[in-house]
Structure 1
């Protein structure tokens, strides 16, 4: 009989705790996006059932998790009506927060790459308790890219390399290359990503060009981790020399004709001779012949015979 009495006593206590906990629910935004160097908000509110009147929060604990099974590192806490000394850079989103305020959102005042990760919000009220995990994703915009060439002064018809650099971004992005006709040349390039102590990335891409490249412009574009283009920079190749044979370039609306110097000299001589010959012929046609007409001896003899 004694053992049966103990069973009856424990059962009602368990039921009361389960029902009481169901009166309170912590609701958080599943994923939050924060920007490097700015404020980030992890939104969480406490919801209570209609059976709960004038709820009072007894404890709040915000913990940063290193893994789902980890207990986490306390970054902000409230217990027994007092706010614990918060970890630097963390506070409640409501400036004058107290135990009557059901908005328990966490504010990170100066977001760093190290702040990215999962956070657990634990709430205990006089009507029950609950907890929820939310995630913070950190982003940082890449700088406007810079482009330069190796060698600094490109010699026509020789191999060269274009270098594009962009820094200060997060997460790791990519650099892509395009010519003036929007054809992509990224496959011909090599990119390197280095992460600094603050967690931000520096991207460097090298595009190798063979001598005699036919394009006058190449564009370096920086894309973030989501695939969105952030910025770009265009590099203009130096113009080719007029001619490697020392000739003259004739530019027409439809074509460019390059004539070697030897050919030009030969054509000039021929044209000069042709012009002088034509002038002489014109002069002969326009002037009368000064010599008298030839005599015909046979005709004269016949005339004398007749007389």
Structure 2
């Protein structure tokens, strides 16, 4: 054997035992180091206990204690090795038929001395959840306009919340408030202050780009942006108009009727 081959024989390729409980199964590997000779192929064992299918799971092999440690990644029923350590390109594979039996072992081709070191096998459920249809609540007049609140529950991962006008343009809104329930699912909530428009129609859109899922709700609030307040004092009645002027005639008529009552 070459010197580099002897080095691997002496030091071995250390595949650490990973004992990780994931809901109803465990991920197991060998306690003793796996030994290989430079230039040969080697299998790094990893199994699920009980031997349930790993076809729908997330399987990740990493190299311990190095930057960008991904050696092999299986997700969404296919290999995703775009961010793999460059030196492993084209030299790793799982056993597709064995995944059904809970075998998540990694085959490493053409072993090199630089491969020497500890590895870990992570297997986990890829949890996703699509939330509820957004619910829009009207909080009334605040800060010079109408305050609308959009809320949606039961998302994972956390989605985005976007407010839009009737033409689909994004509106400036407050920060998105988030909460997580006992199942780890997200409830998202976001407020917006809206001004009078020709239609007074606004849309709340909740989207999760990773899942390619989107839900939206449209609200129409005709007339609700034309708000006034009445203060009665010793000097008479003071009426403050908080909306636009498109309904001025109606407002003036209402003012006359109110003034007559006072």
Instruction: Give your verdict on TM over 0.5.
Output: no
**Where is the helix percentage greater, Structure 1 or Structure 2?**
1
Could you tell me the TM-score, scaled by structure 2's length? 0.44
Q: Looking at CA atoms only, which structure, 1 or 2, has the larger radius of gyration?
A: 1
Normalised by the length of structure 1, the TM-score is 0.38
